């Protein structure tokens, strides 16, 4: 089962401001389309204008000048997400979160009708949060994910392997897991636009363009085959923070100050998860959108602020700071449970 909250951030905002229901609402950045920022989510009334997540707010404002723009409020979304996942945990202990607003559940151990489970879960989530979820059911993660998208919003769909030719093959090939923009471009060169087009290709045609492993994965996906298990224990790989400056920054002193402030926030999240970090990475994006990163590592994990701050400082000043900086990012990785007995020291 794949559960996906419909327009999650926007739905949380509409719950707080019900007068906005039915209007095109866009959530992103500080909620000001005249400032730099991107769309985090939008209501379906806004999406009909072509607005999607990741789009610059200024572009969204041009496409839908009558839209209501709201700032991102992560504490509120985390709180709502926690209530949603409490509901999911009642359905199955085999639960794989995917961000704040979606998850996979393995319900194969249950004997009751999957549609009944899905219908009850949707009702439980709505009762607990006043939010709406779409639920997809399938024999594997691939088809469950596709199913949850088929009848959004407020969908409940069951896809069986036998439904693949009729319901999946007509869909765009980008629907499939693992088909990103570059793979889609290469498939388009082979005349592949839909999942059905991909299913019709011979193994020889695919292996002439892709590695044997990638070609095999594409062939299986086109047939609705997916052997990935629901991963109940996700290992967080990194924790980070980024900031896009409203006016490009040329001050190394300000960058140093901002990097430390961002690190303090990231360290709080690190300690809240009882983790230590081995590697610090500082990212700079310049005015021309070129992006550079610098990293330093310790021999063991730590959550000690000053130790990590020294590495952030070193990484920052390894960059060319005389250029106009558009974006600054600080990331901690190499995460290990903080009760580890490894001792930190610079590599």
Task: Say if domain 2-73 classifies as CATH 3.40.1170.60.
Answer: yes
154 is in an annotated binding site: no
The per-residue pLDDT for range 307-321, each reduced to its tens digit, is 999 999 999 999 878
Q: How confident is the model at residue 347 (pLDDT cuts 50, 70, 90)?
A: very low
The per-residue pLDDT for range 160-190, each reduced to its tens digit, is 999 999 999 999 999 998 898 889 999 999 9
CA 237 vs CA 209, 215, 331: distances in Å? 32, 28, 10
* pLDDT score at 178: 81
* pLDDT score at 317: 93
Comparing 185-189, 209-213, 298-302, the range with the smallest average pLDDT is 298-302
Active site residue 102: yes
Residue 277's SS3 state is: strand
Cα gap 91→226, rounded to integer Å: 22
Strands (E), 23-132: 25-27, 41-42, 68-70, 95-97, 102-105
CA 252 vs CA 275, 281, 285, 315: distances in Å? 30, 17, 14, 12
- The mean per-residue pLDDT over the stretch 108-118 comes to 93
Residue 56, sorted as left (phi over 0), alpha (psi -120 to 50) or beta, turns out to be beta
pTM assigned to the model: 0.68
Annotated active-site residue in 102, 227, 258, 306: 102
The per-residue pLDDT for range 40-65, each reduced to its tens digit, is 999 999 999 999 988 999 999 999 99
| Residue extents of the structural domains in the chain | 2-73, 163-222, 238-337
Cα gap 181→185, rounded to integer Å: 6
Q: Is the pLDDT of residue 235 over 90?
A: no
Q: How confident is the model at residue 338 (pLDDT cuts 50, 70, 90)?
A: low
Q: Is the pLDDT of residue 334 over 70?
A: yes
* pLDDT score at 83: 92
Buried b / exposed e along 331-341 (16+ C-beta atoms within 10 A): bbbbbeeeeee
The per-residue pLDDT for range 5-26, each reduced to its tens digit, is 999 999 999 999 999 999 999 9
101 is in an annotated binding site: yes
Place domain 163-222 in its CATH homologous superfamily: 5' to 3' exonuclease, C-terminal subdomain (1.10.150.20)
Report yes or no: 305 and 270 within 8 Å, Cβ to Cβ. Answer: no
Cross-strand partners of 3: 103, 135
Please give the CATH number for the structural domain made up of 238-337: 3.30.1490.100
Report yes or no: 133 and 146 within 8 Å, Cβ to Cβ. Answer: no
Please indicate whether the domains covering 2-73 and 163-222 agree at the CATH topology level.
Answer: no
């Amino acid at each position: 089962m794949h559960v996906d909250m419909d327009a999650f951030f926007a739905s949380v905002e509409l719950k707080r401001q019900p007068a906005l229901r039915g209007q095109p609402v866009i959530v992103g950045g500080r909620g000001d389309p005249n400032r730099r920022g991107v769309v985090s989510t939008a209501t379906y009334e806004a999406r009909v204008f072509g607005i999607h997540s990741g789009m610059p707010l200024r572009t969204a404002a041009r496409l839908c000048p009558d839209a209501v723009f709201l700032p991102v409020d992560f504490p509120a979304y985390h709180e709502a997400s926690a209530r949603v996942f409490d509901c999911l945990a009642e359905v199955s202990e085999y639960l794989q979160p995917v961000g704040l607003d979606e998850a996979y559940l393995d319900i194969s151990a249950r004997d009751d009708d999957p549609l009944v489970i899905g219908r009850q879960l949707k009702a439980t989530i709505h009762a607990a949060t006043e939010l709406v979820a779409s639920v997809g059911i399938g024999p594997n993660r691939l088809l469950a994910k596709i199913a949850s998208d088929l009848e959004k919003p407020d969908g409940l769909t069951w896809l069986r392997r036998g439904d693949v030719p009729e319901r999946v093959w007509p869909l765009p090939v980008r629907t499939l897991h693992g088909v990103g923009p570059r793979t889609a471009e290469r498939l388009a060169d082979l005349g592949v636009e839909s999942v059905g087009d991909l299913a019709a290709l011979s193994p020889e045609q695919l292996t002439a363009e892709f590695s044997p492993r990638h070609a095999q994965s594409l062939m299986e996906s086109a047939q609705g085959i997916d052997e990935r298990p629901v991963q109940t224990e996700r290992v967080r790989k990194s924790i980070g923070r980024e900031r896009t400056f409203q006016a490009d920054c040329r001050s190394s002193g300000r960058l140093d100050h901002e990097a430390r402030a961002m690190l303090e926030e990231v360290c709080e999240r690190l300690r809240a998860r009882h983790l230590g970090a081995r590697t610090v990475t500082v990212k700079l994006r310049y005015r021309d959108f070129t992006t550079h990163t610098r990293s330093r590592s310790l021999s063991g994990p730590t959550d000690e602020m000053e130790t990590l701050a020294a590495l952030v400082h070193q990484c920052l000043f390894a960059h060319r700071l005389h250029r106009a900086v558009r974006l600054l990012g600080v990331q901690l990785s190499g995460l290990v449970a903080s009760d580890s007995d490894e001792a930190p020291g610079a590599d």
